[in-house]
Amino acid sequence: MDGEFLLGIDVGTSGCKTELFDVNGYSLAKAYRGYPIIHPKPGWSEEDPEEWWRAVVDTTRKVLEVSKVDPSQVRGVSVSCTNACVPVNEDGKALRNAIMQIDRRTIPQAERIKEALSEERVFEVTGNPVAPGSFTAPIILWLKENEAKIFEKAYKFMVPTGYIVQRLTGEFTVDWSRAATTLLFDIKDKKWREEFCEELGIPLEKLPELHPSWEVVGSVTEKAASLTGLREGTPVVAGCMDTVAAAVGSGAIKGGDLFCVMGSVARVCAVLGRPSFDKRFLNTCHATPNEWVAIGCVNGAGLSLKWFIDAIGRQEKTLSEKLNLSPYQLLDLEAEKATPGSGGLVYLPYIAGERSPIWDPEARGVLFGLNLQSERINIVRSFYEGVAYAIRHNVEILRAILKGEGGYIKLSGGGARSKVWRQIIADVCGERVVTTIPLDTEPIGDTLIAGIGIGVYRNVEEAVKVLRLGEEEKPRREYYEVYSNLFTLYKRLYEHLKEDFKLLAHIEKRFL
């Protein structure tokens, strides 16, 4: 199989990562292009789907140019994505900006779904709680109630993967893993739940065609080939949710495997060998026939550090150019100087609301414990530790669900590049943390899924043999004890503040 290559494209929250691998799992070239999150109103988060497509075109052309691979040698393509909903017309053109997973406008629509279908009924069928932002159905209802003309014009309601697959192939599809985040999909029988659509007034014909992640759904069209540089006729599989691609790219393919993807949103996940779902997690189909993935989403992971740099990180921005280091590397150096526990500071990373395990879209970021002795380095480190507490909050529940299965946390994503953050997570959770190679697991997971779909690999077990593990951080028991006490406080703070978060949200709506 020498001279055969696979292309993985990940449409993330902050940007698009595209990478070309050979069939032995070695990267030939990768490219990244960012795009902005648009905030038209407080609590609203949108993105321009055309920016996704431009990023896919640019990064695909870049990897082909850098690798010098003949496009005819690219055997297959797979796309993964963040969570968003975008209505499109019959030509696949977006009718408005996509509404993103961290958007909080659909709280009333989520409540109406609970009233119309009941939470218990929805959970029994979909394996998921009813919540705003994370799921497509509340967004579709918001469009129906607030942008009726767009709702009527919509030919299909697409997720980012399906949107890009359509631009590549002309086919309107959605894979099982992303369909599972609509609240309209039967997660066990893997089909649209027609009575849910009927009772919510969502026409079934406006939903895309369902496919498993590894199934070839079309091929690159002449138009897409001219734009991307790919060969016309190159097979494209249905693709998947970014977290599912990361699971495959981490080698997390059997029940009990635990992994965490440290991106803008951290995803703390466990592979389930049976459909035993917990309401505190987002649950979805794996890119394997008879397994599922439980996903704990920490909204303010990488977003917390990005907010810090954008809002109060002027010195990091200034020094980064002088020292030839990124602002994030400078934050690492500052966090290392502070002692574990950050001098008693506790950060709640709820700057974009929070999902697992509290599912509170009205929660807010909190820095607790400031005093006259608090130094800047303590504040910086508290942000790292706050995200680690949120991760532990999810890990403890997942370990209970798994009943002791598994042994360590596989860590990937941009945040896993930070050695100090990896060590903090190990110390806070009291578990070994092992990085993946590569750290960006979505693109390589995409390529392995594409390879399964076109027959390069017989199955997922054969595909993941090409993967390797990287560095390991071991928990330090003395710091685990310190962090355990602060973790107890972390959880108590939310319980004490959750009613105040609701009051603040009410004040914002009425007066701000």
| pLDDT at residue 102 in the model | 81
Q: What is the pTM of this model?
A: 0.90
The arithmetic mean of pLDDT across residues 420-446, rounded, is: 96
Cα-Cα-Cα-Cα dihedral of 436, 441, 444, 449, to 10°? 110
Instruction: Please give the share of the chain, as a percent, with pLDDT higher than 70.
Output: 99
Residue pLDDT, tens place only, 150-177: 999 999 999 999 999 999 999 999 999 9
CA distances to 200, 204, 217, 350, 425 from 173, in Å: 22, 13, 8, 33, 38
Residue-level pLDDT at 405? 54
Distance CA 427, CA 482 (A): 9
User: What's the CA gap between 508 and 512, in Å, rounded?
Assistant: 5
pLDDT of residue 340: 97
Phi (first) and psi of residue 37, to 5 degrees = -90, 130
pLDDT digits (tens, 9 = 90+) for 309-360: 999 998 999 999 889 999 999 999 999 999 999 999 999 999 999 999 999 9
Asked if pLDDT for residue 512 goes beyond 80, the answer is no
**What share of the chain in percent tops pLDDT 90?**
91
SS3 of residue 293 by DSSP: strand
Tell which residue, 425, 396, 400, has the closest CA to residue 413: 425
Q: What pLDDT digit, counting tens, does each position of 172-215 carry? A: 999 999 999 999 999 999 999 999 999 999 999 999 999 999 99
> CA angle, 483 as apex, 479 and 488 as ends, to 5°?
155
Angle at 253 between CA 463 and CA 20, to 5 degrees: 40
Q: Is the pLDDT of residue 1 over 50?
A: no
CB-based contact 241:297 (threshold 8 Å): no
* pLDDT tens digits for range 94-104: 999 999 988 88
Provide the pLDDT for residue 409.
94
- 389-411 pLDDT, tens per residue? 999 999 999 999 887 655 799 99
3-state helix, strand, coil in the chain (%, to 5): 45, 20, 35
Instruction: Sort strands 173-175 and 209-211 into parallel, antiparallel or unpaired.
Output: parallel
* pLDDT tens-digit series, residues 102-138: 888 999 999 999 999 999 999 999 999 998 878 999 9
Rounded average pLDDT over 438-462 = 96
Q: What is the pLDDT of residues 267-285, one digit of tens each?
A: 999 999 999 899 999 999 9
Distance CA 10, CA 413 (A): 12
How does the average pLDDT of the chain come out, rounded? 95
